[in-house]
A and B are shown apart, each in its own frame.
Chain A
Amino acid sequence: MHEPSRRKLLTLAAMAPFAGIAAGSPVAGTAEADVAPPSPRERIRQRYFPNVALRTHDGRQVRFYDDLVKDKIVTINFFYAKCDEICPVVMANLARVQQLLGERVGRDIFMSSITLKPEDDTPAALERYAAMHGARPGWSLLTGERADVELLRRSLGFTNPDPRVDKDVTQHIGNVRYGNEPLMLWAACPGQARAEWIAESISWVIRPEARPAPAMDRAPDGKLPPRARP
């Protein structure tokens, strides 16, 4: 997709406010003229997708937006390796989702699982964890600086409004976001839902003409046929 150069300028400009906000006050600086409003897609990027540096379980250096989200169909969730409550279920589900989505994962669908314990979950630890769950190319387990991971978590809305609960990592949000970045279609489903249902949900954000199965093949009440798996 062609990106106008103005977009790059806006990207740079958008990085500045984080520093100001972290200092706890609105940033006031030199005067500036009114600027043309960015596109809705650009607004979504600014609002939700900080372009922080992360490392993948196979040792690659990536940028969250540029390399994992931009122009892609994605799933995003948070976990940590030593989580023995919901993470094993969610990660096993995601492994199954990857199987169900087949070769599209790594081609136009990309799955990102971000650790909530970046100090413990080094790329090496994540590599072992990925192997345990049978993650294949196209599904990245990610670690990074704690502040960056926290920024991502908050920007992506994986928070609890009760600060006590929010601090308790064992009660972290178990949902899986799914979306199509260029189409601006975003939703989420429980990570503990049926893997087949998660995969079907992801199919909704694929352009209708590119979907693996008909969007509507509904049958009369209660006698829903087994759906064609994507």
Chain B
Amino acid sequence: MFYNALGERVSRRRYREMLAAARNRRELIAAGLTSRRDLFKMGLLTASGMLVAKHGLSTRAWAQPFQQGTANLCAGAGLPASPPTRAFIEPLTIMPVAQTVGSLTPAPTISPNVGAGEVRAAAHQAPGLGFPFPPPKLYSFTQKALQVSQSPDLPLQTVWGYTDGVHAGSPGPTYAAHYGVPQLTRNRNALPPVTQNGGFGIPSVTTHLHNGHTPSESDGNPCDFYEIGHFCDQYYPNVLAGFNSDHQPNGDINESLSTLWYHDHRVDFTSQNTYKGLLGFYLLFNQFDTGDEHSGFRLPSFPQFDVPLAFADKVYDPTSRQLAFDLFSLDGILGDKFLVNGKIQPFFQVKPRRYRFRLLDTGPSRFYEFFLTDPNNLGASNPFYVIANDGNLLPAPVQVQSVRIGVAERVDVVIDFRPFAGKTIYLENRLNQLNGMGPVNAGQCTDVNGNPVPTMLPAGQGNLLLQFRVSGTPVEDDSADPATQTFYQLPSTNVAPRITRTFKFDRLNGQWSVNGQFMDCHTFRFQVQQNSVENWILANATGDWTHPIHIHLEEHQILSRNRQPPPLAVERSRKDVTQLHPNERVLLFFRFRDWLGKYPIHCHNVVHEDHAMMGLWHVQAEGDDVLVP
């Protein structure tokens, strides 16, 4: 009989594949730096045409848990856990635009329609502030189980996704929303009974609109979950921050949002439910960011040249070849298969012109640093433009050779494929991450030969995520050149805060905590005064760990990292997730405006989040003076 590193019985054929993969890996290491190009080619494909999993295997799925547990900072290289899959043989899926419905039955009500099975924390705030009810656009979304193909080399997978009544998928349909056009989504839980969860996931949901300037009862708070058969009407006003405070009546144009996403946020089970597929995009357009390259900022037109890309890393059970989730990880989960928009390593046929891509890290725990890689010219740096951070257009595009994001962060980039006409290039993640702690820290790990394990992998040796096949025929491109563009101003931070609060993120005997306290749906840590300015200090007390910290309702600006201005130009931006690096202390600037109610602050490594690295707070008419909530 044959066994893999997990102690699991495998077939002779599978065992031979494992041995071949391990041998290939040793050869790759031995080949070292002598021939990067060959290494790239070997690394990409084995003789049998199967992709070799080289990096970032799930710490526990991979790491012989019965012998080693996770007590190894440098775990990561070894036998692949997931079955082999071929790369770049299926086209990229582009999620359809969500369709509205003419009416909802029963009709939406301002107070929760408890009798009809609605679960909502409070009456809608928006109608009281002059927003129409019902709003002009209505959506009927249903959470349900779906059978999908994530690779032609794997059987159909049962995932949880969304349907708008016309299209169903995971990621779900993409909302194309517009400022000034409020909308309401009825989110209905039609997931299968708990006996059919396939090994992970709880059929109990709450859908958060990530970075929405959303009234709290529609925010999708982790504690506002509901069970099968129930629904929640979520009112999205699509209004600029400041509309009811410092920029009446329409809000501050410099607070415009563009790339948002929706995802399940069920307390204690967010990692399982999002890994199972409960997420999608929500794009918000306005008179400048129009979705049409002939108007406004003249950004590449949606949807043909403006493409949302949701990245996820997953593990498949080597025996059943079904999606597997490490239920008992506290640190974070890494996969050895990389999905874009629900497919493992797809290809995308592009034209030699500019595209806008909205890159989203859906987690559960991995950070990415994206590069453009030309396999026939690995030494080249292939620059592109970052135009938005967390979906917020920067004051001006920033030209980069790479950009790093953590879980839940978004970065919008403009890539000009003209220099690559007729070529095949790749979007590659070169950031080396071995476990849930975050990217490998300098000096943290050595390989089998005693050499330091780098944070950044050489070109072609990272994770090839998406293949771009660039056609050779020149085409029209009416989008603006990013080099010449400017967007919005950053809202002033030159305002004295009403209070500066400190949040220490820590691990106390393995228990993730914020200021020594744990998530509890009945405990509110502090009260923010409506329409006031606050500074928040995020302090990392967990040593080598990196945490993507997310705060609901309002965006922030990073005033300093360890008392210095943020070093990266792309971080001079509005943000809703801030990476808290090892031993860092980050100072954030906030304006809390317009809406009242409860919101969370939490780590968006969803495994940390599910293990209580989260706290609830309020916006109320009166604020409190709790400095260390």
Contact = CB atoms under 8 A, between A and B. Distances in A.
Given A47-B6, A216-B119, A221-B216, A161 B66 contact: no
B197 A185 contact: yes
Interface string B120-138: 0111000000000000000
A184 interface: yes
A20 interface: yes
B494 interface: no
B198 interface: yes
Contacts of B320: 37-38, 40, 43
Interface in A147-195: 151, 153-163, 166-167, 171-175, 177, 179, 183-194
A206 B620 CA distance: 35
A33 interface: yes
A177 B268 CA distance: 11
A192 B511 CA distance: 8
Nearest to A189: B612
A222 B204 CA distance: 22
Contacts of A31: 12
Contact of A204 (B2, B122, B204): B204
B194 A166 contact: no
B7 A221 contact: no
Contacts of A220: 121-123, 217
Contacts of A192: 508-509, 511, 518
Contacts of B326: 157
Interface stretch (B67-75, B164-172, B233-241, B384-392): B67-75
A204 B202 contact: yes
A175 B224 contact: no
B59 A27 contact: no
A22 interface: yes
B522 A197 contact: yes
B567 interface: no
Contacts of B228: 208
Nearest to B269: A187
B354 interface: no
Interface stretch (B327-335, B415-423, B469-477): B327-335
B611 A189 contact: yes
B5 interface: yes
A21 B78 CA distance: 14
Nearest to B224: A218
Interface residues of A, number: 81
Interface string A38-49: 101101101110
B226 A183 contact: no
B596 interface: yes
Given A38-B319, A157-B60, A183-B197, A20 B73 contact: no
Given A28-B15, A37-B320, A154 B68 contact: yes
B412 to A, nearest CB: 33
Interface string B39-69: 0000000000000000000011000111111
Contacts of B15: 26, 28
B268 to A, nearest CB: 5
B70 A159 contact: yes
Contacts of A175: 330, 510-511, 611
B71 A174 contact: no
B: interface residue count bin: 35 or more
A4 interface: no
B4 interface: yes
A155 B65 contact: yes
A190 to B, nearest CB: 4
Given A30-B1, A171-B509, A215-B204, A161 B437 contact: yes
Nearest to B229: A208
A27 B71 contact: no
A33 B13 CA distance: 9
A14 B612 CA distance: 34
Given A21-B67, A163-B73, A222-B598, A190 B328 contact: no
A159 to B, nearest CB: 4
Contact of A17 (B3, B223, B227, B324): B3
B328 A177 contact: yes
A41 to B, nearest CB: 7
Contacts of B119: 216, 218
Contacts of B13: 34
Interface in A9-34: 13-14, 16-18, 20-22, 24, 26-34
Given A26-B5, A190-B518, A85 B59 contact: no
Contacts of B327: 44, 48, 179, 186
Nearest to A153: B69
Contact of B598 (A40, A185, A207, A221): A221
A227 to B, nearest CB: 7
A46 B328 CA distance: 13
Nearest to A188: B611
A47 B65 contact: yes
A228 interface: no
Contacts of A208: 194, 227-228
A185 B12 CA distance: 33
B524 A222 contact: yes
A193 B509 contact: no
B554 interface: no
A18 B216 contact: no
A184 B269 CA distance: 13
Interface in B509-538: 509-513, 518-524
B317 interface: yes
Contacts of B9: 13-14, 17, 32, 35
Contact of A156 (B268, B328, B511, B598): B328
B509 A37 contact: no
A224 interface: yes
Nearest to A220: B122
A161 B620 contact: no
Given A172-B509, A187-B610, A33 B11 contact: yes
A51 B352 CA distance: 60
Given A154-B67, A193-B520, A221-B618, A160 B510 contact: yes
A218 B3 contact: no
Nearest first, the 8 A-B pairs at minimum CB distance are A40-B199, A173-B510, A157-B328, A154-B69, A17-B7, A37-B320, A174-B509, A190-B511
Interface of A: 13-14, 16-18, 20-22, 24, 26-35, 37-38, 40-41, 43-44, 46-48, 50, 85-86, 151, 153-163, 166-167, 171-175, 177, 179, 183-194, 196-197, 200-201, 204-205, 207-208, 215-216, 218-222, 224, 227
17 contacts: A14-B9, A18-B66, A21-B67, A26-B5, A26-B79, A32-B2, A43-B319, A44-B327, A48-B327, A157-B69, A172-B509, A174-B510, A175-B611, A188-B328, A190-B513, A208-B194, A221-B597
